[in-house]
């Protein structure tokens, strides 16, 4: 199946500009330099991505402004990253500082041990602490590391995140040895919370075909590090180049 085949049979936006608005342009390698992050912002603006996602140590970011004064791209950062094995109070403090430093969106890693042990009251408390520290309009995405969880654990973690006030479920950090995103995981997440929360597919999306498959499965946002390459491929595959 080609990208064009998937697009033709779905509700996807057809233009590369609209496709780019699905993307959180991401740079989370721990050795990323200030210069690389500045280049990321410049590239995100040029490509028309929705946001940039960087480590909290790189905040605040110098982001160009539109004529109406709003930032040309949203700013997202991570909390409890990449393990999730942090006390809720620590995650909350990290989120609070990130918002003070200009983050529009918080991508927090859930307490994976609690999810695996099906201690969903603890999962709820973990997410709720971050939600309290970063209230709306800050967007809260909960990274569930879907490759680590059973179907039951994934479904219940998604339901718990919704109860705690999350805005998105995000599949993966991209750093766990168990693997990244799959269409199946996106489908389970979308089937559980689709229409109520957003679904961010992240971790191992390397081509336009991968990206389109995730959107077709129910993703409403994509975490990409190869954004320029994927958007270029999308334009070629859909005849928009």
For residues 125 and 27, give the distance between their C-alpha atoms in angstroms, rounded to a whole number. Answer: 29
107 given a catalytic annotation: yes
For residues 207 and 224, give the distance between their C-alpha atoms in angstroms, rounded to a whole number. Answer: 10
Active-site residue identified among 74, 91, 141, 170? 170
If one counts every other C-beta atom within 10 angstroms of the C-beta of residue 82, the result is 16
Active-site residue identified among 74, 91, 141, 200? 200
- Residue 3, SS3 per DSSP: helix
* Residue in this structure with the two tokens 């489908």, named with its chain if needed: 187
Query: Do 177 and 151 touch, CB atoms closer than 8 A?
Result: no
* Residue in this structure with the two tokens 């409403």, named with its chain if needed: 220
Tokens of 168: 């998105």
237 given a catalytic annotation: no
Q: What are phi and psi of 41, to 5 degrees?
A: -60, -45
If one counts every other C-beta atom within 10 angstroms of the C-beta of residue 162, the result is 17
Exposed/middle/buried for residue 9 (C-beta within 10 Å: 0-12, 13-18, 19+): exposed
170 given a catalytic annotation: yes
Residues involved in catalysis: 107, 170, 200
């Amino acid at each position: 199946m080609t990208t064009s085949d998937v697009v033709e049979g779905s509700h996807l936006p057809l233009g590369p500009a609209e496709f780019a608005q699905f993307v959180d342009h991401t740079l989370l390698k721990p050795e990323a330099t200030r210069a690389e992050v500045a280049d990321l912002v410049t590239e995100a603006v040029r490509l028309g991505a929705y946001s940039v996602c960087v480590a909290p140590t790189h905040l605040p970011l110098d982001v160009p402004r539109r004529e109406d004064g709003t930032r040309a791209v949203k700013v997202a950062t991570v909390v409890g990253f990449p393990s999730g094995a942090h006390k809720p109070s620590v995650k909350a403090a990290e989120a609070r500082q990130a918002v003070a430093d200009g983050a529009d969106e918080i991508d927090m890693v859930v307490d994976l041990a609690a999810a695996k042990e099906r201690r969903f009251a603890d999962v709820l408390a973990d997410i709720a602490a971050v939600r309290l520290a970063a209230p709306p309009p800050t967007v809260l995405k909960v990274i569930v590391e879907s490759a680590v969880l059973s179907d039951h654990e994934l479904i219940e973690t998604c339901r718990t995140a919704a109860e705690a006030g999350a805005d998105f479920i995000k599949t993966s950090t991209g750093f766990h040895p168990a693997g990244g995103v799959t269409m199946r995981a996106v489908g389970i997440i979308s089937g559980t919370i689709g229409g109520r929360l957003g679904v961010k597919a992240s971790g191992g999306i390397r081509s336009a075909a991968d990206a389109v498959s995730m959107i077709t499965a129910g993703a409403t946002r994509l975490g990409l590090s190869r954004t320029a390459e994927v958007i270029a491929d999308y334009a070629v595959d859909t005849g928009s180049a």
